[in-house]
Structure 1
Amino acid sequence: MGHMYRPSKTLFLIIILLLESCLTEKENKTNYSGEIVSVWNKKVIDFAIAEDGLFTLKGVRTTSMMHVAMHDALNAIVPKYSHYAYKEGGADANPMAAVAQAAYEVAVNEFPDQKKELDGMLDYWLSMVREGGSKNQGIRIGKASATAILKMRNNDTWNEQSEYMWHPMAPGVYAEFNEHSGTPEGFIFGAGWSKAKPFLLKSSDHFRSPPPPEINSDSYTQAFNEVKEVGATLSSTRTQDQTHFAMWWKEFIEISLNRLAGDLVQKEQIDLWTATRSFALLNMTIYDAYVCVFDNKFYYNHWRPYTAIRWAANDGNPDTVPDTTWNTLHNHTYPFPSYPSAHGTGSGSGMTVLAKTLGFDDDYSFIMTVPEVESSGPMSDKVKMDPPQRSFKSFSEAGLEGAMSRLYLGIHFRYDSEEGNKLGVKIGEYACQNFLKPLE
């Protein structure tokens, strides 16, 4: 009778080690930190601040394209989420090489004057990847992914100019006070933003906010009296905390929310796939929030509290009392229509995305940091925030506080802020429901 073949213990050990090696290799494909995402994000935002102070859409447009390129490159290697612009396969590619190259290609395309610094960043990240075919494949996919989104967004009218037709002074109609906004006579900001092509929404008027209250209504009177009191320079009823968060939230949303996202990625050790998706949706959503809210602003052309309070004797509402010397907390009014609040829309949309993409859900406690803000209008002296942190029990709480901060700053009515927040939440929910969705 023949002997049954029995593998040796050594062979068993070899087989087990080979299996473990295969499993480890597969696991390591997705076992990367999301730190690289926030590093590139901060650098591009710094470039944008230095170039135009974020007074154009260029900064958040660039971060949107960059994070899409990173997201699509990763998901071409190991598909976890649906793609946006690039969908070719690349299973043998190194993920770190792919995302670094994708980020570089978009950043250097938009900020060519920063090529030397960007070259150094790319060299640093690629130096951590072992030489070989996998690295080369990653570089190839990163370039291809960046090319795809840059091509898709070519001629997207992000910097389109638009004529604004001034209207005669009338109740509820936006009016210019250039001595208070610190702008040239006849200047208006953001009229062309609604002409930009959104990343996610079908059009700039995809969501239309309901009309603001009629000037002779009780709801308008209530909102008028509230901002006149709590938004005044030396308000006697605004609390110390309300004063703090009115100033603290002045930082542009694309700065503060991207900083928050980076802090959370580091604190919670978010993986690379989750981080790239979250940053891509966050930045595209903020971009679209600006496009949509400015479409709403110029559609309604509603006046600011500064105008309403100083000109109240002519508004046809007997219950609104004028104050021709009234001023805001920070002695400045922005030169574009009030309704709805852009800050409220941006904070509502961005916080909604973070709640839905980082794996925490809305009910998550966190601390958010804003080191300093401008003391008055754009390009005014900076003031350090004391304290620089605020604590929140949920993303939605933070989003709403960001919106309501404008009431206590004196630059928005309550209904501006509340409807801005509602609009932002709609945009954020739409983004997460329809783009970069988890694959089955």
Structure 2
Amino acid sequence: MKKFVLALVFGVTAAGVGAPADAEPRSGGVRVWNELALNAVRATRATDADAARTYAMLNVAVYDAVNGLARPARTSALVPGPGPHGADARAAAVAAAHAVLVRLDPGRADAYDVQLRTDLDRLPAGGHRDAGEQWGREVGRRVVVSRADDGSTPVQSQPAGTGPGVFRAEWSGVQYRDVRPFAVSNPSAHVPGPPPALGSLDYAAAFAEVALLGDAALPAPDKLATFQFWSVPTGTNQPAGEWVKIALTVSRDRSLADSARLLALLTMALADSTVPTVATKFTYRHWRPATAIREADTDGNPSTQPNPSWTPRAGGIGGTPEYPSGHSSYSGAAAAVLARFFCADNIRFAHTTDTAPDGQARTYPGFSAAAVEAGRSRVFGGQHFEFSDQAGLAIGRGIASEVLATRLLKRTGPTHHGECPL
């Protein structure tokens, strides 16, 4: 198995796009337009669910615009081809991305217009470019129209709960439990069973672990740094965005068609992981460790002891029910897509998140290693029990398996995305 050794060479910061103009001679705009989407999520302070939806819409549009011009084409993600014969796929890709972002983020439409003009001016003028641009615009428009009634709006909330084991605060975004998926056929099939019963030994063991590892009163600079590295809250590119950045890093030498397909598979899996994750949170309404530890005298478990002054290392209780970990769902989905796309989980890469302490990169031996650390970071922050980390990882992996097995397939041949015999 070929081993890839890659490094993070293009930085993306809240201040703007970090890739130089000649960074993607092969990927045809995929990198720059994804970086613009990352910045849009930061600037608009999008939720994690809305962010994942934005990334999926952008990359589905780019894929369908490029794929619709291929001969032979794969199956489409949302908008079937064929597009105009001989049209420039690079023009189609950037026009599709532009058509999505100007509609999702109209406040920055002028900047997107400038980027589109810059991208098109780099291509040979003429009918092929014009046809590609027109086709891409139409694909992007159709993607936005098709998702307008997907259930992501209006925003809905679940009222605050009461009693042992129950999340106490009202939380919003619960409409995502019913959002129409991009790729999976039945999101409810990926909803796990309940968390361990409050009186069980498994619950007590997880309780004891987070009470120790996530306690803000116990200095642990390494665990705090790991939590901060992966925290990426509102105002950043959100957890899904970190995996988009990782995908851009490891695919930097791929062709336009390959890059578009990878990002579409990845972001559809990320977006669809939101649906069972929110449905699970809504169904079980499990309390966060801070409430559980402070009120352990109410859980009926003789192996848990209350600590009314316990504070999570993260500093806050958390804004949604605890089970499962949404960070873990996104990480499980992304790591599985990337490992199976590249036929290997030993692709070494360096990565810097939006919340990395001092902006320092971390290096990982493979995708699953990064996903495991991202999940464990939530325990270190006192935000989640380990059983919720594992449940989230399982949700993401299940979504990824279905997406890879059923979407963007070759129309003929034994495999759906290249060298892997899947």
**Same fold by TM (over 0.5)?**
yes
Q: Contact (CA 8 Å) 1:344, 1:402: kept in 2 or not?
A: yes
Matched with 2:246 is 260
Deviation at 1:101, TM superposition (A): 0.9
Structure 1 residues 335-414: aligned runs within 5 Å: 335-357=319-341, 359-370=342-353, 372-373=354-355, 385-386=357-358, 388-414=360-386
Matched with 2:61 is 69
Deviation at 1:132, TM superposition (A): 1.5
Provide the rounded CA distance (Å) in 2 between the counterparts of 1:333 and 1:54. Answer: 20
In terms of mean alpha carbon deviation, does 296-305 or 143-152 score higher?
Answer: 143-152
Q: Contact (CA 8 Å) 2:68, 2:80: kept in 1 or not?
A: yes
| Structure 2: segments with no counterpart, 5+ residues | 1-23, 233-237, 413-422
**SS at 1:117 equivalent:** helix
Structure 1 residues 311-350: aligned runs within 5 Å: 311-350=295-334
For residues 56 and 412 of structure 1, do their structure 2 counterparts lie closer, same or farther at Cα, with a shift above 3 Å needed?
A: closer
Of 136, 144, 164, which aligns to 2:138?
A: 144
**SS at 2:29 equivalent:** helix
Q: Deviations over 1:87-129 (max 9, x none)?
A: 2223311111111111111111212222211110110010011
Structure 1 residues 252-331: aligned runs within 5 Å: 252-266=238-252, 269-331=253-315
**SS at 1:340 equivalent:** coil
**Are 1:241 and 2:222 counterparts?**
yes
Matched with 1:36 is 29
Provide the rounded CA distance (Å) in 1 between the counterparts of 2:28 and 2:352. Answer: 18
Deviation at 1:45, TM superposition (A): 2.1
Deviation at 1:48, TM superposition (A): 2.4
Provide the rounded CA distance (Å) in 2 between the counterparts of 1:419 and 1:112. Answer: 37
Matched with 2:102 is 108
Bigger Rg over Cα: 1
**Are 1:206 and 2:192 counterparts?**
no
**Are 1:58 and 2:50 counterparts?**
yes
**SS at 2:184 equivalent:** coil
Structure 1 residues 182-197: aligned runs within 5 Å: 187-197=170-180
Provide the rounded CA distance (Å) in 1 between the counterparts of 2:168 and 2:294. Answer: 12
Provide the rounded CA distance (Å) in 1 between the counterparts of 2:411 and 2:66. Answer: 14
Provide the rounded CA distance (Å) in 1 between the counterparts of 2:216 and 2:149. Answer: 43
**Are 1:159 and 2:159 counterparts?**
no
Q: Contact (CA 8 Å) 2:157, 2:172: kept in 1 or not?
A: no
Q: Deviations over 1:218-253 (max 9, x none)?
A: 1111111110001000326x5x43332222111221
**SS at 2:384 equivalent:** coil
In terms of mean alpha carbon deviation, does 125-134 or 204-213 score higher?
Answer: 204-213
Q: Give the residue type in structure 2 aligned to 1:308.
A: A
Deviation at 1:282, TM superposition (A): 1.6
Provide the rounded CA distance (Å) in 1 between the counterparts of 2:218 and 2:398. Answer: 33
Provide the rounded CA distance (Å) in 1 between the counterparts of 2:216 and 2:50. Answer: 33
Q: Contact (CA 8 Å) 1:73, 1:141: kept in 2 or not?
A: yes
Q: Contact (CA 8 Å) 2:49, 2:271: kept in 1 or not?
A: yes
Q: Deviations over 1:279-304 (max 9, x none)?
A: 11222211111222011111111111
Structure 1 residues 95-134: aligned runs within 5 Å: 95-134=89-128
Provide the rounded CA distance (Å) in 2 between the counterparts of 1:69 and 1:163. Answer: 30
Provide the rounded CA distance (Å) in 2 between the counterparts of 1:247 and 1:57. Answer: 20
Q: Contact (CA 8 Å) 2:182, 2:272: kept in 1 or not?
A: yes
In terms of mean alpha carbon deviation, does 77-86 or 389-398 score higher?
Answer: 77-86
Percent identity, please: 27
Calculate the TM-score normalised by the size of structure 2.
Answer: 0.86
Q: 4+ residue runs of structure 1 moved beyond 4 angstroms?
A: none
Deviation at 1:356, TM superposition (A): 2.3
Q: Give the residue type in structure 2 aligned to 1:153.
A: R
Calculate the TM-score normalised by the size of structure 1.
Answer: 0.82
Q: Contact (CA 8 Å) 2:208, 2:304: kept in 1 or not?
A: yes
Q: Contact (CA 8 Å) 2:290, 2:311: kept in 1 or not?
A: yes
**SS at 2:189 equivalent:** coil
Deviation at 1:160, TM superposition (A): 3.0
Matched with 1:46 is 39
Provide the rounded CA distance (Å) in 2 between the counterparts of 1:108 and 1:82. Answer: 26
**SS at 1:249 equivalent:** helix
Count of residue pairs brought into register by the alignment: 382
| Structure 1: segments with no counterpart, 5+ residues | 1-30, 177-186, 374-383
Provide the rounded CA distance (Å) in 1 between the counterparts of 2:360 and 2:154. Answer: 36
Matched with 1:13 is none
In terms of mean alpha carbon deviation, does 257-266 or 64-73 score higher?
Answer: 257-266
**Are 1:250 and 2:235 counterparts?**
no
Q: Give the residue type in structure 1 aligned to 2:77.
A: Y
Provide the rounded CA distance (Å) in 2 between the counterparts of 1:66 and 1:81. Answer: 18
Q: Contact (CA 8 Å) 1:80, 1:273: kept in 2 or not?
A: no
Deviation at 1:398, TM superposition (A): 1.3
Provide the rounded CA distance (Å) in 1 between the counterparts of 2:41 and 2:130. Answer: 30
Deviation at 1:163, TM superposition (A): 4.4
Deviation at 1:326, TM superposition (A): 0.2
